[in-house]
Amino acid sequence: MNDLLLQVAGLRVEFDARVALCDVTFDLFAGETLGLVGESGSGKSTLARAILRLVRPCKGAVVWRGQDLLSCKSAVLRGLRRDMQIVFQDPLASLDPRMTVGESIAEPLRIFEPDLNADARRARVGGMLQKVGLTADMIGSYPHEFSGGQCQRIGIARAMILSPKLLICDEPVSSLDVSIQGQIVNLLLDLQRDAGTAMLFISHNLAVVRHISHRILVMYSGRLVEIAPRDALFAAPIHPYTRALLAAVPSGVPMQRAGPMPPVPLKAFAPRPPGTGCAFRDRCAYALAVCAEIVPPLEETVPGHWAACHRARELVEPV
Amino acid sequence: MPPVLRIVDLTVSFSHPDRTIHAVRQVSLAVAARESVGIVGESGSGKTQVFMAAMGLLAPNARADGHVLFGDDELLGLDAKRMNRIRGSKLSMVFQDPMTSLTPHLKIGTQLAEVLVCHAGKSWHEARIAARRMLERVGVPEPERRLNQYPHELSGGLRQRVMIGISLLCDPMLVIADEPTTALDVTVQAQVIDLLGAMRREVGMAMVLISHDLGVVADLCDRILVMYAGRIVESAGAVELFRQAQHPYTAELLKCIPGLSGPLLERLPTLPGQPPQPGQTIEGCAFAPRCARAAARCRTERPLLEGLGGADAGGHANGGHARRVACHFPLSL
């Protein structure tokens, strides 16, 4: 897993002078699953889009196997994109309602393998439909004929038909029933294993992220606040926001949540101008005066475990 | 004490040009005063339609048969004028999507105050004062400023607080919350769950919580009803249900919740197969095709929702609601 696939460095995205992403830096290795968690508005989807250059970062670098995606020409980028695919949250909205399922799944093939004849293409699409748990005879059906879970399978088939090296999943199971979520996650894991695909898995479902990720990134207010191997994050979270996030998950045991309600006062989320300290400080039980002054840098507090908090060293659980 | 809401043999069907689809089949349930009941099931299980029928909010092509008794009033077929007097005052609802359930072009203050103007006969001035107080009670910061804001200026969590505030303005006897936290972040969800719990204790209302998330229901409800393909398949106290599910479907649903602790899984547990298509004719138990325990009898004879019998049925511990399951082969037997 030491084959470096993607390097994101100092990435910054602004929308009308509002900072959506600030100084985001991380690496992704081939075959690795990276979980990305954080609340709505924290920049998770913007990060996914910025990596694929679907939005334009104003600073920083996205290096894909040695090539900078932000400075390369559109034609070059288009060629590289066959190895980077994305599955969106809303399975029905991400399919063209006027295209049959077969046409949607075949579209990447038409673009990247134009020499493939119609029969071969049809066979590939039929095979892919079977791989995602549907049947080849659904090829002529339209998206509205399918359930949410089935549409998500179709979206995954479209993303995986070129066997990409990176699959970005933006909340792929959030709109699905609990009973269907497991099916979709398992499908992604199977396809990932067969194709050796790396995955950036965005979700606010921490339990799902725990089961499938090698490492986890936690995002708050446009910045990465914690990066840790899976087990370390769940056993010994460092950043106060990560701790609050974990404590807020319903326990699944009647009348008893996993931890006490985190001390998160009710502030409407408002992005702050950069350089005015830690964005979490108003909701943080550990905040000091320095937190209002200086943005805490993301530092390796424990080997392999990074946190952006002035009190990170105090908050490390004794082993 | 008579129940606040009693639903008897409710069937909801939708007529289409070529066929009729039964979304809810012969559902009977009761909600006692101050009780909190969770309704759990997959999309399409009919959990929302039961209460849309009760609120008189079904789609025009829908038909509801049976009885919905709210106190002494039969709500099915009630004329619009009398329905409007009950709905939004003594019986209120919180919807899933706090953006689309608030009117986008009216200020928050107006939307709160009009409830009291319409239902309690208050003047706009009095209503506005009460509205401000309600925003404080449901934990909306800077209530005075919020009154003059429009829904789009509030975050999802704040909007859901406003919705909960609106539902509580007339001291309801029963609040129906349909997936109130599904659109929210985990941290905000925890706050809204705490708020609903606190409000229920404070106001003393009964609550129905509709959700596909057993975790949320576990945190808030005394009793849980599990629905599958339009029918209730299990009814039990929350603690009992989580300790020992009796219906195989409930057991599978519980297994599907991946944990934050415990052993890591190579693959997430899943429930194989699909629920029956709406409109599909079902013989026997609707869950039989997905059930590992299904026998020949399950495919021909529909199991009725029956008490487990015996002294351990939990009737007393559960406010008189015996534990019931619709399965020929409940898991504990």
Task: Give the pLDDT confidence of B185-196 residue by residue, as tens digits.
Answer: 787 788 888 888
Q: What is the mean pLDDT of each run of 10 residues along chain B (333 residues)?
A: 92 90 94 94 90 93 96 93 91 85 94 94 95 91 92 87 92 93 79 85 91 85 94 94 93 84 80 80 92 94 84 45 88 83
CA A87 from centroid of its chain's CA atoms: 10
Beta strand A198-202 with A33-37 is parallel
ipTM above 0.90, yes or no: no
Same domain, A21 and A102: yes
How far is residue A138's CA from residue B168's CA, in Å, rounded to a whole number? 48
Structure confidence at residue A253 as a pLDDT band (50, 70, 90)? low
How far is residue B310's CA from residue A36's CA, in Å, rounded to a whole number? 50
**Which residues of chain A does B242 touch, with a Cβ-Cβ cutoff of 8 Å?**
252-254
CA torsion sign for A141, A144, A147, A150 is positive
Question: Where do the structural domains in chain B lie, given as residue ranges?
Answer: 5-257
Cα nearest neighbour of A283 on chain B: B187
Cα nearest neighbour of B136 on chain A: A266
How far is residue A180's CA from residue B111's CA, in Å, rounded to a whole number? 37
Q: Would the pLDDT of A269 be above 60?
A: no
Q: Which residues are CB-contacts of B131 (< 8 A; sequence separation ≥ 6)?
A: B109, B112, B113, B116, B147, B165, B169
Q: Is residue A226 part of a domain?
A: no
User: Angle at CA A288, nearest 5°, toward A286 and A292?
Assistant: 115
Same domain, A63 and A176: yes
Q: Is A268 helix (H, G, I), strand (E, B) or coil?
A: coil
C-alpha distances (whole Å) from A72 to each of A48, A50, A80, A82, B178 are 18, 14, 10, 15, 49
Per the CB < 8 A criterion, the answer to whether B96 and B35 are in contact is: no
Backbone φ and ψ for A293, nearest 5 degrees, come out as -100, -50
* Domain count across chain A: 2
Cα nearest neighbour of B153 on chain A: A268
Q: Would the pLDDT of A212 be above 70?
A: yes
- Which pair of tokens denotes residue B30? 């009761």
Task: Look at A267 and B141 and tell me if their CB atoms are within 8 Å.
Answer: yes
Same domain, A116 and A174: yes
Structure confidence at residue A133 as a pLDDT band (50, 70, 90)? confident
Please state which CATH class domain B5-257 belongs to.
alpha beta
Per the CB < 8 A criterion, the answer to whether B236 and B323 are in contact is: yes
Specify the pLDDT at position A28: 97
Same domain, A70 and A142: yes
Specify the pLDDT at position B117: 95
Q: Is A229 helix (H, G, I), strand (E, B) or coil?
A: strand
Same domain, A110 and A156: yes
Q: What residue numbers bound the domain in which A81 lies? A: 4-213
Picking from B154, B194, B270, the nearest residue to A179 by CB comes out as B270
Specify the pLDDT at position A271: 44
Q: Is residue A225 part of a domain?
A: no
**Helix, strand counts (H, E) of chain A:** 11, 12
Same domain, A172 and A259: no
Q: Would the pLDDT of A180 be above 90?
A: no
Tell me the CATH number at A96.
3.40.50.300
Same domain, A189 and A294: no
**Which residues of chain A does B216 touch, with a Cβ-Cβ cutoff of 8 Å?**
250
Task: Look at A179 and B42 and tell me if their CB atoms are within 8 Å.
Answer: yes
Picking from A179, A186, A246, the nearest residue to B260 by CB comes out as A246
Picking from A179, A189, A258, the nearest residue to B256 by CB comes out as A179
Q: Is residue A290 part of a domain?
A: yes
Same domain, A57 and A173: yes
**pTM as predicted:** 0.84
Name the residue among A172, A243, A178, A157 with its Cα closest to residue A204: A172
Residues in chain A: 319
Same domain, A193 and A310: no
Closest approach of A245 to chain B, Cα-based (Å): 6
